[in-house]
């Protein structure tokens, strides 16, 4: 049961991050293209970026 629950949670997070924010990587850059939702007057999110240096 735990694995099914974690899978559902991960899918929900993926939908929120990728679907609502339009967050994706293209051409080596991070792109945002938020989707306006009529029933949701506003939403916000924070991004934490790591530079990837070792």
Q: What whole-number distance in Å separates Cα of residue 43 and Cα of residue 40?
A: 7
pTM of the full predicted structure?
Answer: 0.47
**pLDDT at residue 22 in the model:** 81
Report residues of the chain scoring pLDDT below 50.
none
Cα-based distances in Å from 52 to 16, 28, 49 = 24, 13, 9
First CA to last CA across the chain, in angstroms?
A: 38
**pLDDT at residue 3 in the model:** 67
**pLDDT at residue 38 in the model:** 79
Nearest to 47 by CA among 22, 10, 27, 12: 22
């Amino acid at each position: 049961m735990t694995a099914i629950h974690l899978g559902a949670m991960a899918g929900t997070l993926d939908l929120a991050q990728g679907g609502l924010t339009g967050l994706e990587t293209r051409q080596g850059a991070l792109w945002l293209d938020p989707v306006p939702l009529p029933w949701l007057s506003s939403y916000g999110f924070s991004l934490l970026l790591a530079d990837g240096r070792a």
